[in-house]
Amino acid sequence: MGKKMKTWRGKSISVEMTEALGEAMGSVAVPGDVLTLDGDLGAGKTAFTRGFARGMGLRSRVTSPTFTIVNEYNDKDGVPRLFHFDTYRLGNSDDFYDAGLDEYFERGGVCVIEWSKVIEDALPEKRIRMEIEGNGDERTITVAFGEEDLSRMENVKEKMQEGGMGFEDTGL
C-alpha cells in the first residue's frame, strides 16, 4: 500500500446512514479525487454513491453502472463532475486500459469506483479507499486515506458522529 495511510472505521445501521456518509464525503470532494469502494454484492457501494452524488450537489439519481461500467453525472451546466464505475464485469486492469477507461482519471471530475480490486494496478496511488462489510442492516465501513486528506476526513467523521454514527477508535 506504499506510504502509511490513516484509517477510520464507522458502523452504519441503515441504508440511510450509509447514504448520509456518502453525502458527507461528496460534500468535501474535489475534482480529481479517486475513491474506491470494495465489498460484496449488496454491501451498499451504490447506496453510498447515491448519497455521494447528492453531496456533490448533483441532481440525477444514481443507478448502478453494472452494465455500462461507467456512468457520468453532469452539473446543471452540463459539465461532467462525477464518474461512477462498477468494474465487476472487467477481468483485470488490461480490460480497463483496452477500453480507454483510464482516461477518465484525466477528465477533471471525481471518480468513484465499485469493485476496484479487479483493476487494482490501474488505480492511482493517491486515492481514498473504502471497504464495506456486513449484512442485515449493519455495515462496517473502513476508510483509508493519506495524510493530505486527514482534515476533510475528520470533518466527515465529526459530522457523522453528530448524526449518530458510531466509530471504532483506530488511533486517530
Binding site for ligand ADP (CB under 6 A): 12-15, 17-18, 39, 41-47, 64, 114, 137, 139
- Pick out residues in 46-105 that bind Mg ion (CB under 5 A): 46, 64
Q: Dihedral through CA 11, CA 3, CA 112, CA 74, nearest 10? A: 120
Q: 110 to 169, contacts with Mg ion by CB under 5 A? A: 114
Q: What residues have CB less than 8 Å from 158, skipping those under 6 apart?
A: none
- Residue 75 or 142 having the CB closest to ligand ADP: 142
Cell readout for 159 is 459530522
In angstroms, what is the minimal distance from the CB of 164 to ligand ADP?
12
Nearer to Mg ion, 40 or 120 (CB): 40
Shortest Å, Cβ 45 to ligand ADP:
3
Closest residue to ligand ADP, based on beta-carbon distance:
44
User: Shortest distance, CB of residue 63 to ligand ADP, whole angstroms?
Assistant: 9
140 - beta bridge partners?
11, 133
Which residue's CB comes closest to Mg ion?
46
81 binds, among Mg ion, ligand ADP, none (CB under 5 to 8 A by kind): none
d(CA 112, CA 64): 12
Shortest reach from residue 45's CB to Mg ion, in Å: 5
Select from 40-48, 74-82, 94-102, 131-139 the region that touches Mg ion (CB under 5 A): 40-48
For 33, which DSSP code? -
User: Which cell is 57 given?
Assistant: 450537489
Interface ranges with Mg ion (CB under 5 A): 45-46, 64, 114
